[in-house]
Structure 1
Amino acid sequence: MYTENFFNEKELRRHHDHEHDTAVAHSHDDALAGAHVHHTHAHTHTNSKAVLNRLSKLIGHLNAVKHMVEDGRDCSEVLIQLAAVRSAINATCKIILKDHIDHCIVDAVETGDTETIEELNRAIEILMK
């Protein structure tokens, strides 16, 4: 179900940890360029495993939709499945957002880190487009 282009859970964790350790700006894609900077602060993401599991399921679901299109399945069926994928992505975003608020934003407020709060506002603006 997975292709070589997707990180496994261990690689995702290592990539995420590296991002937090380096405190370097990076872009996820052209739309997010310059909008996401990690700062070094100690915290744990309590829902990382749940998010990774959801993302794995989403990848599988999206691949199934791709196969539906390749097989010439009915457009209505494809649209319904894409709506389900979008709903699952939104639910995953809510988990990440809650985790971020509970940990990163609480830490930012406690330490007076207004930049992290501004980054959250930019991320929400992009997410809501």
Structure 2
Amino acid sequence: MDKMISAENKQIINRIHCIKGHVNAVEKMLIEDRPYDEIIFQLEAIRSAVAKTTSVAAQHYANTCISETLQNGDKNIEALKKPIEILMRVSQYKVLSNE
């Protein structure tokens, strides 16, 4: 039985495919003995893509936790402690993005 993939998960999967493409490009560049400035540029693209993907996943997780807490009428702030901690940790990746 095929499971429906949410729009949020599709977005993350698409970003992972992009990251894989960058990693494959770096491997090919190393095999071809390309200049390191080009390789470093690709590595920076990987780092940026991972940071953005992490931010998107963290936002989705926080939104899900908040929605579930509100739907359940839970007034216990402890239910939001973990998503807040994750958003704070991820915020070191610069700006949280809605891309």
**Structure 2 length normalisation: TM-score?**
0.66
% identical equivalent positions: 23
Whether 2:53 is the aligned partner of 1:92: answer yes
Q: 1:125 — aligned with what?
A: 89
Structure 1 Cα separation of the partners of residues 46 and 31 of structure 2:
17
- Structure 2 contact 62–83 (Cα < 8 Å) conserved: no
Structure 2 Cα separation of the partners of residues 70 and 113 of structure 1:
52
Whether 2:7 is the aligned partner of 1:54: answer no
Q: How does 1:32-111 map to 2 (within 5 A)?
A: 46-108=7-69, 110-111=73-74
Question: How far has the Cα of 1:122 moved from its partner?
Answer: 5.3
Pair 1:102–1:51, CA change in 2 (3 A): same
Bigger fraction of residues in helix: 2
Structure 2 Cα separation of the partners of residues 127 and 62 of structure 1:
24
- Structure 1 contact 58–88 (Cα < 8 Å) conserved: yes
| Structure exhibiting the larger radius of gyration computed from Cα positions | 2
Q: CA RMSD in A?
A: 3.0
Question: How far has the Cα of 1:71 moved from its partner?
Answer: 1.8
Contiguous gaps of at least 5 residues in structure 1 = 1-9, 14-43
Contiguous gaps of at least 5 residues in structure 2 = 94-99
**Structure 1 length normalisation: TM-score?**
0.53
User: Across the two proteins, how many residue pairs are aligned to each other?
Assistant: 88
Question: What SS is found at the alignment partner of 1:47?
Answer: helix
Pair 1:105–1:46, CA change in 2 (3 A): farther
